[in-house]
Amino acid sequence: MTDLGPGQVLFHFVRHWSRRSVAADTGSEQGRLVLVCEAVHALSLRASPATVNAIAQEVGIDQSGASRLIKSATAAGYFVMAASATDGRRREASLTHAGQLMLDQAHRWQEEMFVELTTGWSDKKRRDFQQAMTD
């Protein structure tokens, strides 16, 4: 099969897919906005408060970076920041209608890109790949 260890295969996999050039460049700022909206969405699915610290942990960045992302997403109209219902000292982000629409559009684009990137693959191979990524 291969002489590469699983860690090497993983990083080869990441480099391979990150180099794929697909569709038009959506710009790094839009990518960051999608990333932070994805984080808030993921936290809400787990019924976790979307605080600055929780978003930072979800995205894998420091608190100051998360604060800047939150500020950008709020300015773009994708978030609303409000005092926590359980602790008035904390502020929590939630998606606005515009944020949810943008995220829905990003999800559709992601699905389209997956189909494009896997052109020539059978449906079974696509499902197997999805399952392997999920595992």
pLDDT at 1: 52
- 3-state helix, strand, coil split of the chain in percent (to 5) is 65, 5, 30
Is the model's pTM score more than 0.85? no
Helix or strand run (H / E) with residue 79:
strand 79-83
Beta-carbon contacts of residue 55 (< 8 Å; ≥ 6 apart): 36, 39, 40, 43, 66, 69, 70, 93
pLDDT at 21: 45
CA distance readout (Å), 76 to 33, 80, 85, 111: 9, 10, 24, 24
Query: Tens digit of pLDDT per residue, the chain (135 long)?
Result: 567 777 787 777 777 766 654 444 455 788 889 999 999 999 999 999 999 999 999 999 999 999 999 999 999 999 999 998 888 888 999 999 999 999 999 999 888 888 888 889 999 999 998 888 888
**Inter-residue contact 33 to 72 (CB < 8 Å):** yes
